[in-house]
């Protein structure tokens, strides 16, 4: 059976045996917090994450750790798997529900409304929504990243181009709204729902100059909230709008799987991420080879040594010749460097090298 109206979407329902499990469903319009869709509003406070009223006032400090994000990057890596988010959660401000008696279904585009007190003139704010299994394992469900000094200018999902920064006043309350990536996911009975807030999401995004720590404040008069389109179901739901279709093709062949490693230098306080991936495909009259390598590193308490290096090589093999392109990028807090080179049968016939000052405003 296939849908005859609206559009189809995939609802994640991971299990211990299959973390890619789920089902296809259909609806006429995608729900968001802004378009009047049914949503559950959770409040963040001293009593955790609560649906409804009853928040206990808090003023929680996020202490700078720019390595937050390395345990939440599976969504960004082709062929990557979900990581246990607990290392990131431990370095974030976290609020969670009790074990759910009934499943909670998140389907749509949610948002978080927060009040922060920044230590500096700029502040990246990352919000991650996590499904916590009975054994404590955390799985990223959705996330959003914004810069407080840009007003409503989100970083991910992308905001409007050309947003101008309005420097924050250190020590002054600042209200922000963080839009979350659209998704559909079921938090099953016995699981918990957790929200984690931090000032970093490395190496996915880079904080601006002037970012530092901050206080997250929530009170009955000005609660910090998480609005998620969806609903609670009695027990574990069976959806009437499901239909049969092949699951999303997130599983890559073994030879295309990434080489992926995170390392911590405890003496230097540095965290690094290494990623390599390659694959080959046969084309009519040619072969195509792809290789990508990324090295990223940051100090936990300083952005001065932040670096991201990437090299991509593509090779087209024809019966008469082999053409190879190499693109190398290097980004630091001060400079952006790019080198582009084309080779034919091992000889360079075009190359270009550029270096420019990195704009971090």
C-alpha span between 241 and 249 (Å, rounded): 21
C-alpha span between 303 and 333 (Å, rounded): 7
Residue 359 has pLDDT above 70, yes or no: no
What's the whole-model pTM score? 0.89
The answer to whether residues 157 and 144 touch, using CB atoms and an 8 Å cutoff, is yes
Q: What is the pLDDT of residue 166?
A: 86
The answer to whether residues 67 and 300 touch, using CB atoms and an 8 Å cutoff, is yes
Domain boundaries defined on the chain:
7-16+38-232, 257-357
Classify domain 7-16+38-232 at the CATH class level. mainly beta
Q: What is the pLDDT of residue 3?
A: 44
Q: What is the pLDDT of residue 358?
A: 72
Residue 136 has pLDDT above 50, yes or no: yes
How much of the chain exceeds pLDDT 70, in percent? 90
- DSSP for 137-171 reads -EEEEEEEEEEGGGTT-EEETT--TT----PPPTT
Three-state DSSP at 341 gives strand
Q: What is the pLDDT of residue 297?
A: 96
pLDDT per residue over 6-53, tens digit each?
678 888 998 877 877 888 888 888 887 666 668 899 999 999 999 877
C-alpha span between 26 and 4 (Å, rounded): 9
186 has which bridge partners?
105
Q: What is the pLDDT of residue 352?
A: 96
pLDDT per residue over 167-208, tens digit each?
999 999 999 999 999 999 999 999 999 999 999 999 999 998
Residue 254 has pLDDT above 50, yes or no: no
């Amino acid at each position: 059976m296939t849908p005859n109206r609206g559009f189809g979407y995939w609802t994640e329902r991971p299990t211990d045996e299959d973390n890619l499990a789920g089902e296809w469903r259909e609806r006429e319009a995608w729900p968001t917090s802004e378009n009047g869709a049914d949503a559950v509003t959770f409040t963040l406070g001293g009593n955790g994450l609560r649906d409804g009223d009853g928040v206990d006032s808090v003023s929680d400090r996020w202490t700078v750790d720019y390595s937050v994000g390395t345990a939440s990057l599976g969504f960004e890596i082709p062929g990557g798997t979900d990581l246990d988010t607990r290392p990131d959660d431990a370095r974030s401000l976290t609020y969670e529900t009790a074990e759910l008696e009934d499943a909670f279904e998140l389907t749509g585009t949610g948002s978080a409304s927060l009040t922060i007190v920044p230590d500096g003139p700029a502040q990246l704010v990352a919000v991650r929504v996590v499904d916590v299994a009975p054994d404590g394992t955390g799985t990223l469900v959705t996330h959003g990243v914004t810069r407080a000094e840009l007003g409503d200018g989100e970083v991910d999902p992308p905001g409007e181009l050309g947003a101008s920064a309005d420097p924050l006043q250190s020590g002054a309350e600042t209200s922000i709204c963080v839009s979350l990536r659209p998704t559909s996911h079921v938090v099953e009975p016995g699981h918990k729902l957790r929200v984690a807030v931090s000032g970093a999401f490395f190496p996915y995004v880079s904080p601006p100059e002037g970012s530092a720590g901050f206080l997250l404040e929530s009170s009955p008069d000005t609660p910090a909230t998480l609005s998620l389109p969806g609903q609670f179901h009695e027990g574990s739901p069976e959806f009437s709008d499901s239909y049969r279709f092949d699951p999303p093709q997130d599983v890559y062949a073994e030879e295309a799987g990434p080489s992926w490693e995170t390392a911590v230098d405890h003496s230097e306080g540095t965290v690094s991420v290494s990623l390599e991936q390659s694959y080959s495909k046969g084309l009519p009259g040619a072969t195509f080879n792809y290789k990508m390598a990324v090295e990223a590193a940051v100090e936990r308490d300083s952005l001065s040594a932040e670096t991201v290096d990437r090299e991509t090589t593509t090779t087209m093999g024809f019966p008469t010749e082999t053409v190879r392109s190499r693109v190398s990028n290097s980004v630091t807090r001060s400079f952006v460097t790019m080198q582009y080179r084309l080779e034919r049968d091992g000889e360079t016939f075009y190359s270009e090298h550029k270096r420019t000052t990195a704009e971090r405003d």
